[in-house]
Amino acid sequence: MARVVVDVMLKPEILDPQGQAVNRALPRLGFDGVVDVRQGKRFEVELEGPADEAALARVREMAERLLANTVIEEYRVRVEA
């Protein structure tokens, strides 16, 4: 068993209303010094077998086709130790 994490974030150039709303709220709660907040999604994919190159390629395909909308989002695939 291996766990692969896929982080999906809006591409940096795409407006992130969620992150902005949180960013605007933070100073009101007394958290100063924050320049920007971006909100994303994290998927934890549990695999039957090891997280070898072939498995990671499959997870990347998952991310490409389903987990992320690559028109506006980018994703990162990593193995959780």
Residues in contact with another protein by CB under 8 A are 10-18, 20-22, 24-25, 28-29, 39, 69, 71-72
Closest approach, Cβ 32 to another protein, in A, equals 15
β-bridge pairing 73-80 and 2-10: antiparallel
Please identify, using beta-carbon distances, which residue of 22 and 56 lies nearer to another protein: 22
Contact 9, 26 (CB under 8 A): no
Closest approach, Cβ 22 to another protein, in A, equals 5
Distance (Å, whole) CA 32 – CA 24 = 10
